[in-house]
Structure 1
Amino acid sequence: MDPVTALRRIAFLLERTQAPTYRVKAFRTAADVIADMADGEVGKRAAAGSLESVRGIGPKTAQVVVEALAGEEPRYLRRLEEEGAAAPLAEGGERLRAALRGDCHLHSDWSDGGSPIEEMGRAAAGIGHEWAVLTDHSPRLTVANGLSPERLRRQLDVVAEANERWAPFRLLTGIECDILEDGSLDQEEELLERLDVVVVSVHSKLRMDAAAMTRRMVAAVRNPHADVLGHCTGRLVTGGRGKRPESEFDADEVFAACVESGTAVEINSRPERLDPPRRLLRRAVEAGVLFSIDTDAHAPGQLDWQVFGCARAQECGVPAERVVTTWTREELLAWTREGRIPARG
């Protein structure tokens, strides 16, 4: 294992187990520093014992580099593996997780994610996905560095260039588009038309009157550009941002609108969200909606969190054939562009 791979693997395992951000960043930064060094420089510095004099490399990361260069499995990585950092994160959902082909909701450092597009795409391919959708935030969410139309157009070019190098894996274009108070979507019509997948989510006025919230969400999921309704209740059940109650709305009316319009309901796998709650997830199953099991990942290691959503989906009786993230890329795009749902026998 080369030093860069070892450092990135450690960062990935730390992220998936929700280790402190500063610890993850130390290994990811060191990986970037080593990757940027000239040929032969890493070996020379390791032999001279001068790795720690390089900005971004500390004692622990330097030790990982030295051991990897010696052809050994770094002790830090071995300890993580032995302590279960690579073990399953949840019980149940294994069958559904094995059927997944992609993820419709992930972020990069173009908005509020912590890693570049290149790193997120590489990680998605590395865990076995055939495709994933980049869904950085829309402009209204300034706190998350939402993408203006101009920045989104630039991002489309970056994704197109990356895909030329990544075949057969494909990073699809998308957005997590704010649902505005009147139910309209926070991005130019022309851009929404160009994107492969549009996730629509409420991020503001989460405590508005239930009737108004219902109208707002129904209008959004009926928008012809809406493909997935993201984290529908907006709740937070744990985590550094504290707890937040569910938004109030008529779930049956919203799910009926999703069925009518062909918009999928997201099963958000983030541990602090786990949205929708089980009681609503079961009602969505009964309503006959499509589902998208997504990570809402903001870092590479979080892409492994899909198992949390799979476990809840399996527990609540979600049929695998109604999960769009089990579909091939061609099937997914036929659905988002033409409304065609693949036949499953």
Structure 2
Amino acid sequence: MDAVEALERIAFLLERSLAPSYRVRAFRTAARVLSGLGPDEVRRRADAGTLETLKGVGPKTAQVATEALAGRVPAYLATLEDEAAAEPGPERGRELRALLRGDCHLHSDWSDGGSPIEEMGRTAAALGHEWAALTDHSPRLTVARGLSPARLREQLDVIAALNATWAPFRLLTGIECDIHEDGTLDQEPELLDRLDVVVVSVHSKLRMDARAMTRRMVAAVRDPRSDILGHCTGRLLIGRDGGNPRPESRFDADEVFAACAETGTAVEINSRPERLDPPRRLLRRAVAAGTLFSIDTDAHAPGQLDWQILGCARAEECGVPAERVVTTWSREELLAWTREGRVPTGVAR
């Protein structure tokens, strides 16, 4: 294990455990700094004891690098690995997780994610994905640095350039599109038509009247550009920065899921530990309604891409048929569905 690999592994484990972002940032930053120097210069500086003179490298990250260069597993990394191994994993979900080929919901530092597009894609490929969809936020969500049409067009060019070097893995273009109060989508229609995957989510006025929320969500999933209904209740089991939980939005789930089934819009099984949305009772109703599903991480950092097992466990527990999970499909099958509404042979709803 070299110094950069050790620093990146520590950052990955911290991200997976929802550690504070400043802790993660220290290790990601140090990894980028050392990666830019090259292994020979890193070793020379480590031998001279001057790693800490580099901007972005502190005492703790320098110690990790020095221990790795000495041929040892850094002590801090060993501690984190032991903690991760001791965490009780879900009893279910492993069979379904083995079938997954991709992830339809992840963010980069172009909006409110913590890492560049390249790091997110590279990590998704390392986890065994054949494809993943980058779905940064839409313009209205300014608190999350939502992408204007111009920025989204620029991002499409960046993704195309990365994909030219990544075969066979492919990063799909996408967006997490805010649903306006009237059910319309927060992006130019012609631009949405260009994207591979469109996740639509409610991020504002989460406490609106149940009837109005139902109309809002039904209108959104009936839009032919919508592919996936994201984190449908909007709940937070753990509030931001350890704050109070956020209750579920109120809506007629049966009406919303019936619209999803009719239009072929998938219901997202959001794997973020503080979301785990939809709740089990609603997930079972979506199964009964005959909807498609997308088991996603909603990852905002590379380490969070490892959360899909949490969604898989809930899916298995609630009887979600694997063939109705779009993230088990090949890239070709997924794109035939998002572009033409065609589902693979044998997918019964």
Query: Could you say which TM-score interval applies, normalised by the shorter chain?
Result: over 0.9
> TM-score with structure 1 length normalisation?
0.97
Residue matched to 1:271:
273
Q: Quote the Cα distance in structure 2 between the aligned partners of 1:166 and 1:149.
A: 26
Query: Residue deviations 1:161-217, cap 9 Å, x none?
Result: 000111111100000001101111010011000000000000111111111111111
2:253 to 251, 254, 264: 251
Q: Contact 1:13/1:86 (CA < 8 Å) preserved in 2? A: no
Q: Quote the Cα distance in structure 2 between the aligned partners of 1:333 and 1:38.
A: 39
Q: Quote the Cα distance in structure 2 between the aligned partners of 1:212 and 1:44.
A: 64
Change (3 A) 1:60 1:86: farther
Pick which of 17-26 and 100-109 moved more. 17-26
Q: Quote the Cα distance in structure 1 between the aligned partners of 2:111 and 2:88.
A: 29
SS of alignment partner, residue 198 of structure 1:
strand
Pick which of 67-76 and 243-252 moved more. 67-76
Residue matched to 1:205:
205
Deviation of the 1:87 alpha carbon: 6.0
Residue matched to 2:129:
129
Deviation of the 1:70 alpha carbon: 2.5
Deviation of the 1:78 alpha carbon: 2.2
Residue matched to 2:317:
315
Query: Residue deviations 1:94-124, cap 9 Å, x none?
Result: 1111111110000001001111101111111
Change (3 A) 1:121 1:201: same
Query: Residue deviations 1:59-89, cap 9 Å, x none?
Result: 2211221222233322222222223358664
SS of alignment partner, residue 37 of structure 2:
coil
Q: Quote the Cα distance in structure 2 between the aligned partners of 1:245 and 1:17.
A: 23
Residue matched to 1:29:
29
Q: Quote the Cα distance in structure 2 between the aligned partners of 1:2 and 1:86.
A: 25
Q: How many residues align?
A: 345
Change (3 A) 1:27 1:39: closer
Pick which of 97-106 and 16-25 moved more. 16-25
Change (3 A) 1:89 1:115: farther
Q: Identical aligned pairs, as a percentage? A: 77
Q: Contact 1:282/1:316 (CA < 8 Å) preserved in 2? A: yes
Describe how 1:274-289 pairs up with structure 2 within 5 A: 274-289=276-291
Write the letter of the residue equivalent to 1:219. A
Write the letter of the residue equivalent to 1:224. P
Q: Quote the Cα distance in structure 2 between the aligned partners of 1:83 and 1:217.
A: 41
> TM-score with structure 2 length normalisation?
0.96
Residue matched to 1:174:
174
Write the letter of the residue equivalent to 1:199. V
Deviation of the 1:314 alpha carbon: 0.7
Pick which of 153-162 and 82-91 moved more. 82-91
Residue matched to 1:108:
108
Describe how 1:74-89 pairs up with structure 2 within 5 A: 74-85=74-85, 89=89
SS of alignment partner, residue 25 of structure 2:
helix
Q: Quote the Cα distance in structure 2 between the aligned partners of 1:119 and 1:32.
A: 11
Residue matched to 2:301:
299
Q: What is the alpha-carbon root mean square deviation over aligned residues?
A: 1.4
Deviation of the 1:245 alpha carbon: 1.0
